[in-house]
């Protein structure tokens, strides 16, 4: 299991945008929001990790094989930049973690009995739905 991941700089590109939200007039003057683009193919991930990353990224994944992460919750470029990189690293680490295998279990005897009882009761309800005789 991987706990740390070093992002390769050649796979990243950052764009700074004017953010919305708190910051007063500073928001209108300074581009503090960060849009981090990652070329996933440059990360050289194993196929199963790549597939999990694609699923986890969801709508952040583009058709060109990039992940786009927008960070605008902080008031400074540096904080937003660190936030975007941390979120990307967390996503990649989560993709490296294989899901736990499900161990198949057999139903217990009482479980089987309860299921059959429920089926019998439901059958009786359905049988009672026959035609009504008004004689």
pLDDT by position in tens, the chain (length 135)? 677 777 888 888 888 888 776 666 666 677 888 999 999 999 888 999 999 999 999 999 999 989 999 998 888 889 999 999 999 999 999 999 988 999 999 999 999 999 999 999 999 999 888 777 777
User: Smallest Cα–Cα separation from 70: which of 81, 56, 54, 57?
Assistant: 81
The overall pTM is greater than 0.85: no
pLDDT (0 to 100) of residue 103: 93
Query: What pLDDT does 85 receive?
Result: 92
Distance from C-alpha of 59 to C-alpha of 68, rounded to nearest angstrom: 9
Rounded Cα–Cα distance for residues 18 and 33 (Å): 6
Q: What is the pLDDT of residues 95-115, one digit of tens each?
A: 999 889 999 999 999 999 999
How large is the C-alpha radius of gyration of the chain? 27
Torsion over CA of 43, 45, 47 and 49, rounded to 10 degrees? -110
Classify residue 44 as left (phi > 0), alpha (psi -120 to 50) or beta: left
Domains of the chain in start order, with CATH, are 9-96 (3.30.160.20)
Q: What is the dihedral of CA 31, 73, 96, 8, to 10 degrees?
A: 20
Q: Which ranges of the chain does DSSP label H, i.e. alpha helix?
A: 26-29, 47-57, 77-96, 109-127
| pLDDT at position 21 | 62
The distance of Cα 15 from the centroid of its chain, to the nearest Å, equals: 23
What pLDDT is attached to residue 115? 97
């Amino acid at each position: 299991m991987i706990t740390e991941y070093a992002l390769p700089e050649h796979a990243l590109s950052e764009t700074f945008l004017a953010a919305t939200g708190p910051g007063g007039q500073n928001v209108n003057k300074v581009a503090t929001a960060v849009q981090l683009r990652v070329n996933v193919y440059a990360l050289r991930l194993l196929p199963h990790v790549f597939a999990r990353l694609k699923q986890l990224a969801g709508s952040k994944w583009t058709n060109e094989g990039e992940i786009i992460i927008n960070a605008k919750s902080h008031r400074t470029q540096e904080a937003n930049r660190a936030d975007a990189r941390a979120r990307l690293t967390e996503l990649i680490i989560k993709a490296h973690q294989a899901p736990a295998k499900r161990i198949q279990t057999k139903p217990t005897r009482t479980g089987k009995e309860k299921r059959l009882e429920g089926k019998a009761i439901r059958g009786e309800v359905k049988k009672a739905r026959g035609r009504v005789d008004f004689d």
